[in-house]
Every structure is written in C-alpha cells, then in structure tokens.
Chain A
Amino acid sequence: MLIIKNLKVSVLDKKILKGLNLEINDGEIHAIMGPNGTGKSTLSKVIMRDENYSVDGIVKYNGEDILKMTTDEVARLGIFLAMQYPISIEGVSNADMLRTALSIREGKSINLFKFVNELENAYDELNFDKNTIHSSINEGFSGGERKKNEIIGMKMLKPSLIILDEIDSGVDVDNLKIISKNILKYKKESNASLLIITHYPHILKYIKPDYVHIMNNGKIVKTGDYNLALSILENGYEASVVKEDNTCE
C-alpha cells in the first residue's frame, strides 16, 4: 500500500507539488491526468527518490518510509517506474542491466539459462526484436520502442507497484494493445497496483482504473472513475473540474 500525505516538492526555488495526497491500496488501479507541467512526472520521480528534488511530507510504501531510502532501495521494495522519456545508455545492454538488477535483489548470481529464457519470452510477448537483447539500452530505438522496452523491464523485475508515466504516448494503436495486454496479464498474475499517468483515456479503456485523479498546479483537485477521464477528453480540464464543482453546490 502506498500512502502519500501532504507532499511538497520543489526544485531550487520553484514549488512543483504543493501538498499532494494519494493512497493506493494493493491491487488498485489509479490514473492521474492533468495539464502539462503540473507535476505528474515529478511525482513519479520523487517516489523513486530522484535527488534533484527537495521533498517534504510523508511517502510510505508497505509501512516503509520511502523518503529515507535511496532509489535502488525503493526499486527493491517492489516499485517500478516506466519513465516518460526512457534514456539510452551506450555500452550497457538490457540483459546486463536486468541480470545485475536481479542478482542484487536475490543476493547471488542468478541462473543464466533461466534468465535468458525468461528474457527471450518477454521479448516475444511484446513482439520485440530479440536481437537487441545484447545491444546498448534503447540505443537507436524509437520513442515507442523505448516504451515497450520498459515493459520488458517490468516483466523481468516483477514489481508490486507499477508507475507508468505516459507509457501510451508515442505508441501506435497495435503496440498500445500489446503493451496493455502484457500489463494486464502481469497484474492478474501478481495482483500488483498500478499508477497510470496519461493524457488520453485510450489506455484506460484497456486497463480500467478504479480511480481517476485530476492533478492541477501540484495537487490532486478531483477524483472520480473512468467517466471522469471521458469527460476530460470531451470538455478539457477546466470544464471537467468546474462543471462537477457546480453540480455539487
């Protein structure tokens, strides 16, 4: 279970998150939508303990105080972030990275045969070229291919909370189906929770959220269900927030 209370985040003098609250119970699917520059990616990176941000408030996962941990420790707690802009690293292969990550987690060298088998399977299930297993991470990959590669990482590392920062942007319709199918299958096997950051309801059609949050100006300003996502698509953010506020009065 992830608990975020009154989270305030800033970079240098710029305030980005301004008292954000969010709770994700095991197995729940949450979506966050919100205008550009509102702090969605910042939230995801703060959970992963990106040192660029000054942080105040409470972030706990399964009772552990994340704000006291390093990035790798958070990852080993079972939190996985598929970044909005996955970088490429020359000279380090996907296989090297994932094998190292798994060995550290298990505290011993892993069975290579089993590892390669599983990795090749993951590539197959994402309809991804297996020849890139041993080439540099994301090097020469298109934007959409980089997103698929993140899902390969997810399948191998087997997290219990998955944060997807715009996994759907830059991905064509067929690949979005493949990505969604893989995420749903893994969720079914593992009962992992999901936090989906997106601008479009399309992915939420495949992966139905229990909650949809609208974030604006560093806070969650409204929470609803899948219909809220549809209303945003139709009316935009301002109207979706204001309209509902009026009906409440």
Chain B
Amino acid sequence: MNKILMNKKVIDKDEVVDNIDNSIYDIKDNCKLVINVDNSINSSTFNLGNNSELIINKNYKLNENEEEITINLNGVNSRVDYNFSTLVYDNQKYTINVNHNNISTISNIINHGVVMNDSKLEFIVNSSVLKGNKKSVLNQESKIIVLSKNNSIIKPNLFIDEYDVDARHAATIGRFSSEDIFYLMTKGINKEEAIKLLINGFLNIGR
C-alpha cells in the first residue's frame, strides 16, 4: 500500500485548531489539544502524555467519506472526549481505536448520525484496556437515526483485560418516535419541520 508521508506534530502547549494537516499528534504531558472541525480529518493518530487532554468536536455534512482515528492514552490520567455528529446522504465509515495504555485514563466517545436516505453509515469503535491499567473509565455511545431503509451498522467493541475499570457502552439504530413527531405537530409544526427540529436536536446533543 502506498503510505503517504507521515508528518508529525508535537503539542507542547494548549492549542485549539479548526483543521488537521498532520497524521500524528504527540500531546505532551499536561497539555491540551482541542480540535473543532467540519471537514474530514482522514486518518490520524494521537498520542497522549501524562495528564494531557484531547477534545475532538466533529460536525459533518459530507459526501462519501472514510476515516480511521487512533488515540493512544499513553500517559497516566490522560483523557479524550470525542463528540461526533454526522448528517449522511452518502456511504460513510468511521473507525475509532482507543487504547488505554496507562492507569486512570478516560475515554468518552460519542457518535451520532442521521441517515437521510438508504446510504450506509458505519460506526466502529474499538476500545482496549490492557491488564494492569486500573481505574480507567471508558464510555462509548453510538446512535444512528435512519429516515429510510436501514443499511447502517454499529460495531461497539470493548477489549478489556482488567477488572478495575468502569466501562459502559450504548449502541442503537432507530427512528424518531411517532410520539415526538405528534407532540411537535400539536404545537402547529408540520411534519417536515418537526423532523428537521428532531434532526438538528439529535445532532446537537453532546455539542
């Protein structure tokens, strides 16, 4: 396979960015990186030092897209908060790997997607905790709402080899409830606008 040149960036002070042009980010001890993007960040790897923090907020409305992101929580107390929402008209696939490589590491991974037609949306979340990395906290929440025929899938994977962790995951694929739509319509909102409100609301959760 043709590997593109891996350029690496070192984060040694707190930073907020709104686009990503490197493939590897090393976040040094006690530093914080915040990424707010609405364009594909392709494939990236993040390595976190002790007490460091990574916040990724992604709100997409893209054509066909595929991404794989790897987050290595290498330092004690390192933490990632990943809030992703996507409005989908074309096939999309998102893989996220979170490796808890030290004690007291925290990951909070939230994926929300609304699929407007019969395209396929895939959320693949792989979280791992190796033996000995006690007191780690893992949270995965992946939700997809489909408006048409469902072809989407969620693969929530937890690979945990340590007892002393707090892990939870939720994965659902569903539709907006008819009660929600009825409630909004009783206020005089037509069905189309009611669904628009629900879509925006769903994609906004976690922002």
Contact = CB atoms under 8 A, between A and B. Distances in A.
Interface of A: 48, 50-52, 70-72, 75-76, 80-81, 83, 86-87, 89-92, 96-98, 100-101, 104-105, 136, 153, 157
B166 interface: no
A92 B187 contact: no
B188 A104 contact: yes
Contact of A136 (B179, B184, B186, B201): B201
A87 B179 contact: yes
Interface-centre pick from A75, A80, A86 (highest chain B CB count, 10 A)? A75
A93 to B, nearest CB: 8
A71 B186 contact: yes
B205 A75 contact: no
Q: List the 5 closest pairs (A to B, CB-CB), nearest first.
A: A91-B201, A75-B188, A92-B201, A71-B185, A101-B187
Given A50-B182, A83-B183, 12 more contacts: A48-B182, A52-B178, A70-B185, A70-B190, A70-B191, A72-B194, A75-B187, A76-B188, A89-B201, A90-B205, A97-B184, A97-B197
A81 B186 contact: yes
Dominant SS at the B interface?
A: helix
Interface residues of B, number: 23
A90 B201 contact: yes
B198 to A, nearest CB: 7
Contacts of B186: 48, 71-72, 75, 80-81, 83
B191 A153 contact: no
A89 B182 CA distance: 12
18 contacts: A48-B186, A52-B178, A70-B190, A71-B186, A72-B188, A75-B189, A81-B186, A87-B180, A87-B183, A90-B202, A92-B184, A92-B197, A92-B198, A92-B200, A96-B197, A98-B187, A101-B188, A157-B188
Contact of B189 (A80, A87, A104): A104
Contacts of B201: 89-92, 96, 136
B183 A75 contact: no
A72 B181 CA distance: 10
Given A50-B182, A71-B182, A86-B183, A100 B202 contact: no
A97 B189 contact: yes
